[in-house]
Structure 1
Amino acid sequence: MSTMNISLPEGLKSFVDQQVSTRGYGTSSEYVRELIRKDQDIQKLRSLLLEGANSASGAPADKDYFDDLRSRVRRSASS
């Protein structure tokens, strides 16, 4: 694992320390890693949403679509 040193103003350091102690993190590094993972997840979700928004429209998900889906699930479950 690589090491990265981060300088924080006292107010942010106090906030991080508080989060570590109240939210069950073992160290400030664990807290920062969790924030980075969450940010990665947000960016991935944003990318997927934009990809979907820019893709061609598919079949509508209307009442008929869900009725057909229910029928297929019921047939599959009874097999």
Structure 2
Amino acid sequence: MASVNISLSETMKDWVDAQAASGRFNSAGDYVRDLIRQDQERSDGLAQVQALIAEGFDSGISASSLDDVLAEARERSRSARRP
């Protein structure tokens, strides 16, 4: 595993140490790795949303009414939840 040294303010260091001492994390490093994983997941999710928005813009203007679009979205949502 690679090693990285970072500088933190005393307040930030105290926060990291408190998170590690809370019992949820084994060490300050585990806490920082968890933060990085969360940020990666958030970034990936944001990229997916941006791709869907671009797809929507690229698809052009729909001939469907807003009510039709909402009804279709509700049906897709219901279908996705069924086993």
If the length of structure 1 is used for normalisation, what is the TM-score? 0.72
- Match of residue 66 from structure 1: 75
Confirm whether residue 37 of structure 1 aligns to residue 46 of structure 2.
no
Residues 30-77 of structure 1, C-alpha deviations (whole Å, 9 max, x = no match): 0000000000000000000000011045994625x729x76xx7xxx8
Distance 2:26 2:70 in 1: 46
- Match of residue 49 from structure 1: 49
Distance 2:23 2:40 in 1: 21
1:5 to partner: Cα distance: 0.9
Change (3 A) 1:45 1:23: farther
Which runs of structure 1 show a deviation greater than 2 angstroms over 4 or more consecutive aligned residues? 56-61
Distance 2:41 2:21 in 1: 24
Distance 2:20 2:30 in 1: 8
1:6 to partner: Cα distance: 1.1
1:28 to partner: Cα distance: 0.4
Whose Rg is larger?
1
Structure 2 segments unaligned to the other structure (5+ residues): none
CA RMSD of aligned residues (A): 3.0
If the length of structure 2 is used for normalisation, what is the TM-score? 0.69
Q: How many residues align?
A: 71
Distance 1:66 1:38 in 2: 31
